[in-house]
Amino acid sequence: MSWYGFACPMTHVLEAGFETIDRENPNGSPSIRGYNIIGGKLTQSSDGSTFESTNPAWLDDCLGEFPLSTEGDVHEALAAARAAFPSWSSTPAPTRGQVIGNMGRLLMEHKEDLVRLQAREIGKTLKECGGEIQEAIDTCLFFQSEGRRLYGQTVNSELPDKELFTYRRPLGVCGIINACNFPSAVPFWKMIPAIMCGNTCVWKSPQDSPLLSFALARIMHEAGLPDGVINLIHGKGSGAGQHLVDAVDLGMVNKISFTGSTGVGKMIGEVCGRNLVSASLELGGKNPLVIMPSADIENAVEGAYWAGFGTAGQRCTSLGNLIIHEEIYDEFVERLMTKVRSTSIGDSMRNEDVLYGSMLSERYAIDFLKGIEMCEASGATKIWGEGRITNGNKPENFHGDASEGVYMWPHVFTDVTEDMECFHEEIFGPVVTIVKARDFEHALHLANASPYGLSSAIYTNDRLEAYRYKTGIKAGMTGINNSTTGAEAHLPFGGVKGSGNGTRESGIWVIEAYSYWHAVNDELSGKLQLAQMDVDEIEMEEADADYAGLA
């Protein structure tokens, strides 16, 4: 399959190879006919049904039309992955690493085009999209070298003339399901280590970013990936995604890796659990950020502001509960609100220096507004935010025509207490709930009081407080004098409690999620030797010999 590159999707048509459909977009960008990629072939859904991807910052802009995959399509993709598994798993790991390295270099070559495509499809700012594509590149380059380091061990036997070894072995066919808020970094977090270990994949693209997924999958094939190793299917979570999970019950899937809501993650965990199938579940968060009196206030305000409103609050690591020590509460809130009131919002493809853009889609906007209603019903005090931005209801620093897209005010609620629903529930969007703490012990208690445990942070210049926080917090990740957000390709990512099942993305740790240990016992003596039984006889013979020598 040849590479079909992108020109800037806002100003030029896509280069040859992407079939366009007859539609006029207001920005002059083309609409693409997308396909599933099954066994290296471009296919439509078996019943011909489709859905559209639209730009949330410019709703009249249709990026393309994509297959609404059926159960039969999903099963066909799984069969293709199963057929490709023997050859790919027997390919030397350094060769697999070289293919992954090629992916990273192609991503670098086409980075600018992919950044603009992603920004157009999900409304994130160009700067954030650039960072995310770079993270996908970093993941490829990191795991390229891991192809030469899938280490096992040589273990000493307790019996003579015997060798013991351990090896990493691939699991088989992996089902990959990710959300659209990080549509390039997260699938690469999952699929790159999966194929590095020798697995094959069926990737269900996020329903709100199918064109980017289509482009990324074609880059993977252009890098030299054999047909069937990664198969792409499009559709909705309740359709193609559910069919992929249901296939676990049919014995067609050996691993599910899912990033999304805790409720859906629990369902997937139940299906995998009853089939003894491995599941990687990276779920929601209500991430606490504690501000102590010794903190550098200006630095802490910057961290809290970005954690709460970067990506329009649509990160699983976005700030949930801002926990402020009562000694500095009033000063901190005043400084934070100065920044909140000045927040620049708009489509970054048409406006420079905006903090955040649109919501990821209309459905995310609907869910966010329900979360705001929940905050108000909980009894929290709203000090900023007026729901959806319209031309008649917009903050001072909103840029553009609000009727074109799906934009939200930044929201801040104070007087939040531990007994309120909004203290415990994740709200996916630009909102911060503020809680007052009496002292460090109370702050740590509040930080641990939600049902989630993904990310966390504290701003303090007291080393003992920093130590007690990082040892006392129940979370998978902690920032000290840093925000709740941020991940690097070589550091483990994941949570505890309601935020996940203990598996991790990224770094060498993720290899555990996509391989199993195989112990090999190589008998060289030419006779049967039984561990724990024969070893006693050997030890007794040695003891008798030693005694005879002494005598």
Phi-psi region of 530 (alpha: psi -120 to 50; beta: other; left: phi over 0): beta
537, amino acid identity: E
Question: CA-CA distance, 334 to 135, in Å (whole number)?
Answer: 35
Tokens of residue 186, six digits: 């997260």
Q: What is the CA radius of gyration of the chain?
A: 26
What single string gives the DSSP state of each residue in 9-40? TTTSPPPTTS-EES---TT---EEE--EEETT
Kind plus residue range of the DSSP H or E element containing 359: none
Using the structure block, give the residue that is written with the tokens 């920005």. Answer: 27
Question: CA-CA distance, 18 to 33, in Å (whole number)?
Answer: 7
CB 411 within 8 A of CB 432: yes
CB 30 within 8 A of CB 14: yes
Tokens of residue 161, six digits: 């003339």
| Three-state DSSP state, 386 | coil
Q: What is the dihedral of CA 86, 87, 93, 96, to 10 degrees?
A: -130
Kind plus residue range of the DSSP H or E element containing 230: strand 230-233
Question: Residue 110: which of 193, 11, 232, 220 has the closest Cα?
Answer: 220
List the catalytic residues: 316
| Three-state DSSP state, 149 | coil
Environment class of residue 541 by beta-carbon count within 10 Å: exposed (0-12), middle (13-18) or buried (19+)?
Answer: exposed
Long-range pairs of 85-91 with CB within 8 A, sequence gap ≥ 24? 85/170, 85/172, 85/173, 85/199, 85/200, 87/226, 88/195, 88/198, 88/199, 88/200, 88/226, 88/228, 88/229, 89/170, 89/198, 89/199, 89/200, 90/198, 91/198
Question: Residue 84: which of 40, 146, 143, 150 has the closest Cα?
Answer: 40
